[in-house]
Amino acid sequence: MANVVVVGAQWGDEGKGKIVDWLSERADVIARFQGGHNAGHTLVIDGETYKLNALPSGVVRGGKLSVIGNGVVLDPWHLVNEIASIREQGVDISPETLMIAENTPLILPIHGELDRAREEAASKGTKIGTTGRGIGPAYEDKVGRRSIRVADLSDDATLEARVDRALQHHDPLRRGLGIDPVDRDALIAKLKEIAPQILPYAAPVWKVLSEKRKSGQRILFEGAQGALLDIDFGTYPFVTSSNVIAGQAATGVGMGPGSVDYVLGIVKAYTTRVGEGPFPTELDDDDGLRLGTRGHEFGTVTGRKRRCGWFDAALVRQTCATSGVNGISLTKLDVLDGFETLKICVGYELDGKRLDYLPTAADQQARCVPVYEEMPGWSESTEGARSWAELPANAIKYVRRVEELIDCPVALLSTSPERDDTILVTDPFAD
């Protein structure tokens, strides 16, 4: 049975949530494998909007098992609130439908404070534009071997020892930033208070998934962020603090590399980015404004305006390679309706030479000038199209050119925020 990984192939907000929700009909288990509540995934089902941060997008469908894997960093207070608000929308969430890996590191309030304090203290050019949710500091504690993990919530003595170990690191750091030392007893009390609301969902996820795989169940791995925000392959240091690329799916839940059969890259028909960092095709003209307005490009988590630009085929070809993408889902094609001319970046000029990828050195990235190809737009509407036959000829030409340039086929096409406004070309779950 096929298992599918969904990853963002640009800088996030490509429409992963919508596609994961759509594909979840074909899956038994939906598993998050990295990131945290820096993610903002919006689903629209029969006019009702659901906004998810930490919960896998499969929860809304019902009857599926949703999993938060060990590769995630989890804010337990946020999760409890998110569960409550999604339940208010009529979604059933219980330990039968949601499972959290016992070895998942927690995001504590001190991580968010540190994240925000560093951003405030950053000089011009060094600010990352994080979501301020403590993602970076929580991952630092994980690799620094001083995290408090979900399993630690089950024993008071262990929990207190873990907190003491973490504070040995955090108190001197806070002093340097002019923040008061942590109130140890208050933090421990807060953790003890939340523990009974988290522990019922805790499970050995690696074991459960191994058994499910053996019994032929299908797993849909849900990525957050996008490959250009990957800690290794993104536009470092303007990235998030986890591996975002598809290889992380197995590590992030405790499965082998052979557990992934198909990688679906989610690709927006143009480009957006929230936060700081290089963006070769960024537009600060009327076309950029039009993309932002038509695409409602405002961040789900922070409400920030997303930066907008033309489609960058060189970058997507690169992320399709680093994630081993088998097929893409092209989203928000409808946002391009009505443009007279569309531009696609096919490579860069750097110091008089032509490049077909974005170099790693920051100074070179900054000097890369996009090389564009122009295509005629279309005046007809593609919004809500559910078959190829409904697409204007120039829209089909644009899709075909994208496929050629990124060297990867289109498996799905999305034409509105609504779940069912989706065109299936190749089923990623088909064996």
Contact residues for ligand IMO (CB under 6 A)?
A: 8, 11-13, 38-41, 128-131, 133, 135-136, 224-226, 229, 240-241, 274-275
> 13 vs 152, which CB is nearer to ligand IMO?
13
Has 158 been labeled as part of a binding site?
Answer: no
Answer yes or no whether residue 18 interacts with ligand GDP by CB under 6 A: yes
Least distance to Mg ion, CB of residue 39, Å? 6
> 274 vs 336, which CB is nearer to ligand IMO?
274
User: Do β-strands 98-101 and 327-331 pair in parallel, antiparallel, or remain unpaired?
Assistant: unpaired
> 111 vs 149, which CB is nearer to ligand IMO?
111
* Residue 73 Ramachandran class (φ > 0 left, ψ -120 to 50 alpha, else beta): beta
Residue 257's contacts (CB-CB under 8 Å, 6 or more residues apart) are: 247, 250
Answer yes or no whether residue 15 interacts with ligand GDP by CB under 6 A: yes
Catalytic residue of the set 21, 28, 41, 152: 41
Binding residue for ligand GDP (CB under 6 A) from 9, 11, 16, 82? 16
Q: Are 241 and 140 in contact (CB under 8 A)?
A: yes
Residue 51 catalytic? no
Q: How far is CA 122 from CA 109, 114, 132, 170, 174, in A?
A: 20, 12, 13, 19, 15
Q: Using omega within 30 degrees of 0 as the cis cutoff, is the peptide bond preceding 237 cis?
A: yes
Q: Are 166 and 148 in contact (CB under 8 A)?
A: yes
Answer yes or no whether residue 13 interacts with Mg ion by CB under 5 A: yes
Least distance to Mg ion, CB of residue 40, Å? 4
State the residue number with the nearest CB to ligand IMO. Answer: 275
CA distance 115 to 106: 15
> 41 vs 170, which CB is nearer to ligand GDP?
41
Selected range binding ligand GDP among 148-156, 207-215, 316-324, 410-418, rule: CB under 6 A: 410-418
Q: Are 250 and 260 in contact (CB under 8 A)?
A: yes
Answer yes or no whether residue 306 interacts with ligand GDP by CB under 6 A: no
Selected range binding ligand GDP among 21-29, 180-188, 212-220, 408-416, rule: CB under 6 A: 408-416
Residue 41 catalytic? yes
Binding mask 274-313 for Mg ion (x = CB under 5 A): --------------------------x-------------
289-295, long-range: CB within 8 Å, 24+ apart, which pairs? Answer: 290/339, 291/335, 294/335, 294/337, 295/270, 295/332, 295/335
Least distance to Mg ion, CB of residue 41, Å? 6
CA distance 370 to 346: 7
Answer yes or no whether residue 38 interacts with ligand GDP by CB under 6 A: no
Q: Are 279 and 261 in contact (CB under 8 A)?
A: no
What 3-state class would DSSP assign to 353?
A: strand
Residue 142 catalytic? yes
Q: What is the DSSP track for 139-172? A: HHHHHTT---BGGGGG-HHHHHHHHHHHHHHHHH
What are the residues binding ligand GDP (CB under 6 A)?
Answer: 8, 12-18, 40-42, 44, 300, 331-332, 334-335, 414-417
Enzyme catalytic residues:
13, 41, 142
